[in-house]
């Protein structure tokens, strides 16, 4: 079937000597792997459109089984900052890796597609990639089949904090109910408040959000705990971010 759709490059890998396998998250058809012949040839018209951190309107032969074939691309939008900045690139790569892990191939998910577009566009503008990643991580949980109560106390429905996070009750716990879970995470209420905000934020309203380095560190810790406990997906790109933070620290010291 011939098809045309907006898409975002998920990855672009060398295949044999001259060709590439390019995975694209398309708005209409979901995630597809395309075989691109002679991708390395200098004058290949698809060249710029299949670089990592690029969006475009792609068209080609879409196969229900196996690989699809890419014919053309137009309206090419490189995310220039994400292509050049190693730090922002690491976060964007992780977000796209999560989107890839969260849903099956060849199933359309236009909402998740547009959410990825928004997150990448905000990162490309230079807004804090760590915070944008955290927002994505919170909101994509449902796609992994994880349903946590992040809007109110999981026990009494109280919507005003201070809250802690409880794995026993799969969500926030208000101060009145702290005693119900001896192993609550003892997360800073400020961090729980941000989890609540991130969970409720409509994607089109995502913009610049300032979070202090100490709070970001705690957000990372609680989201790592949630991802280990409920999602169990371990991406290389996440490991890379952790390593990168270590060297950043070393350089500052």
Kindly list the residues in this chain that would bind Zn ion in the complex (CB under 5 A): 153, 155-156, 158, 174, 176-177
Spatial separation of the C-alpha atoms in residues 135 and 210, rounded to whole Å: 13
3-state secondary structure of 187: coil
H, E, C per residue of 87-135 = HHHHHHHHHHHHHHHHCCCCCCCHHHHHHHHHHHHHHHCCCCHHHHHHH
The residue with its CB nearest to Zn ion is 153
At its nearest, how many Å lie between Zn ion and the CB of residue 50?
51
User: Which residue lies nearer to Zn ion by CB, 177 or 238?
Assistant: 177
Check: CB of residue 117 under 8 Å from CB of residue 57.
Answer: no
- Return the half-sphere exposure (C-beta side, CA atoms, 13 A cut-off) of residue 190: 10
User: Which residue lies nearer to Zn ion by CB, 120 or 172?
Assistant: 172
Pairing of strands 30-36, 68-78: parallel
User: Which residue lies nearer to Zn ion by CB, 181 or 225?
Assistant: 181
User: Which residue lies nearer to Zn ion by CB, 84 or 159?
Assistant: 159
At its nearest, how many Å lie between Zn ion and the CB of residue 191?
18
At its nearest, how many Å lie between Zn ion and the CB of residue 196?
14
At its nearest, how many Å lie between Zn ion and the CB of residue 184?
12
At its nearest, how many Å lie between Zn ion and the CB of residue 243?
39
Spatial separation of the C-alpha atoms in residues 64 and 51, rounded to whole Å: 24
User: Which residue lies nearer to Zn ion by CB, 24 or 173?
Assistant: 173
């Amino acid at each position: 079937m011939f098809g045309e759709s907006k898409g975002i490059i998920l990855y672009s890998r060398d295949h044999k000597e001259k060709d590439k396998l390019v995975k694209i998250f398309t708005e209409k058809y979901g995630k597809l792997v395309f075989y691109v012949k002679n991708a390395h040839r200098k004058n290949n018209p698809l060249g710029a459109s299949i670089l990592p951190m690029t969006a475009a309107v792609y068209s080609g032969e879409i196969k229900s089984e196996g690989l699809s074939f890419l014919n053309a691309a137009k309206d090419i939008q490189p995310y220039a900052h994400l292509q050049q900045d190693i730090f922002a690139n690491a976060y964007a790569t992780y977000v796209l890796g999560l989107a890839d892990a969260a849903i099956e191939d060849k199933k359309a998910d236009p909402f998740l597609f547009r959410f990825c577009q928004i997150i990448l566009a905000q990162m490309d503008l230079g807004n804090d990639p760590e915070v944008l990643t955290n927002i994505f991580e919170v909101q994509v949980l449902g796609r992994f089949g994880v349903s946590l109560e992040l809007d109110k106390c999981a026990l009494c429905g109280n919507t005003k904090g201070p809250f802690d996070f409880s794995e026993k009750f799969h969500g926030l716990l208000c101060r009145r109910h702290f005693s119900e879970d001896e192993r609550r995470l003892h997360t800073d209420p400020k961090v729980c408040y941000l989890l609540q905000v991130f969970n409720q934020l409509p994607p089109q309203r995502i913009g610049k959000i300032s979070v202090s380095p100490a709070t970001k560190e705690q957000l990372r810790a609680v989201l790592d705990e949630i991802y280990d406990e409920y999602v169990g997906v371990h991406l290389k790109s996440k490991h890379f971010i952790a390593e990168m933070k270590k060297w950043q620290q070393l350089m500052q010291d």
